Amino acid sequence: MHDLFPLQRFAEPNPNVNATTSETLSAENKSFYDTELIENTEPELVHDQFGQEKPIPAGNGKTIQFRRYASLPKATTPLTEGVTPDGQKLNVSAVTATVNQYGGYVVTSDVLDMTAIDDNVLETTRLLGSQAGRTLDTITREVLAGGTNVYYVPTRAADGTETPVTGRDQLTEANLLTVKDVFRAVAILKSVNAPKINGDYVAIIHPYVAHDLMVEAGDAWLDVHKYAAPENIYHGEIGKLGGVRFVETTEAKVFADTGDGCAAGKVAVSTLFLGSNAYGTTQLANGGLETIVKPLGSGGTADPLNQRASVGWKATKTAERLVEEYMLRVESGTSWNAQLLAAAKKD
């Protein structure tokens, strides 16, 4: 058994110290750490994959505008020979959202820099990349989880008889997501002409719910490695069923216990079915996400003995639901209720 190297003893005891910079990294190092942060952030952004992206323009305030074009009405009036009919106008509506800034940082000491075996700036950047990814993904997830279009998986008896569920507090381990529910979700999206994403709808699903569904689906489930074009898969994609491509993430929304409107000791898990242009997000890569490295000696009089360095990130972020009916939140129970409830209590 190896003793753990006590890195924390060298960390700055006051994490709220804000150093002012008097020197900067070289352009090459800055680009390297920026790239490292973004690479470790992107795989976490499962909920951002399917939204309408808008860049964050510099010098244009904190409001981002997403636009929606309404469908043109049917042209059922016959044309008159030789007569040009009246033209039609585009109907464009705007949805605005205000961006907020988020960030985090880690402070290290000169002693750690001199004694540690690992490249602490690089390792810290990787950890911060994961933190940034999970943070920004959660911001989008919470917006999507607030959608008004919801379907509760019904209670099913042993003989197949279904009892409708009208609220989250009625969901238990018996209310498992099934193939029939997937087909119903697709029917609901099709009924409002929700456009597909690259030919299919997409569902963001928790691993435990995915397990329940795949066990029930059997041979109807198509694993991602059996796709005809596996090179075009999404981050986290695990398979396909009923015209829906499933993307798995532990960050799928979980409602737990009475505080989230569940029955006592129960969880409800969201599987989010999406059509194209259902929501919008900010575009992070072009100015929205930044790595900030303050090397030893950059703190001026706030750090007179050059004892502190720091690595941090900040990002400007927002998300907005654009067309409520193009997304459907399917809430179910899971056979893994106890495990999810225990995990929720740790958060």
Whole-number average pLDDT of the chain: 85
**For residue 229, what is the DSSP state?**
S
Q: What is the mean pLDDT of residues 105-116?
A: 74
Provide the pLDDT confidence category of residue 30 given band limits of 50, 70 and 90: low
Q: What is the pLDDT of residue 93?
A: 83
Q: How confident is the model over 145-183, as pLDDT tens digits?
A: 999 999 999 999 988 899 999 999 999 999 999 999 999
Determine the Cα–Cα distance for residues 303 and 121; give it in Å rounded to an integer: 19
At how many degrees (to 10) do helices 27-41 and 120-145 cross? 40
Q: What is the pLDDT of residue 207?
A: 96
Q: Tell me if the domain spanning 7-70+91-143+281-321 has CATH number 3.30.2400.
A: yes
**Angle (nearest 5°) at CA 234 between 230 and 240:** 65
At position 297, the amino acid (one-letter code) is G
Among 294, 324, 272, which residue's Cα sits nearest to residue 145?
Answer: 272
Strand partners, 96: 65
14 Cβ partners below 8 Å, 6+ apart?
A: none
Q: What is the mean pLDDT of residues 14-25?
A: 42
Backbone angles phi, psi at 195, to 5 degrees: -70, 150
Q: If you search the block for the tokens 């087909």, which residue do you land on? A: 183
**Angle (nearest 5°) at CA 117 between 115 and 118:** 120
Domain residue limits, the chain? 7-70+91-143+281-321, 150-279+324-346
Q: What is the mean pLDDT of residues 66-88?
A: 88
Provide the pLDDT confidence category of residue 29 given band limits of 50, 70 and 90: low
Contact 105, 21 (CB under 8 A): no
Q: Which residue has the higher pLDDT, 201 or 345?
A: 201
Q: What is the mean pLDDT of residues 300-325?
A: 90
| Tally of CA atoms within 13 A in the half-sphere of 343 that contains its CB | 13
Strand partners, 163: 155
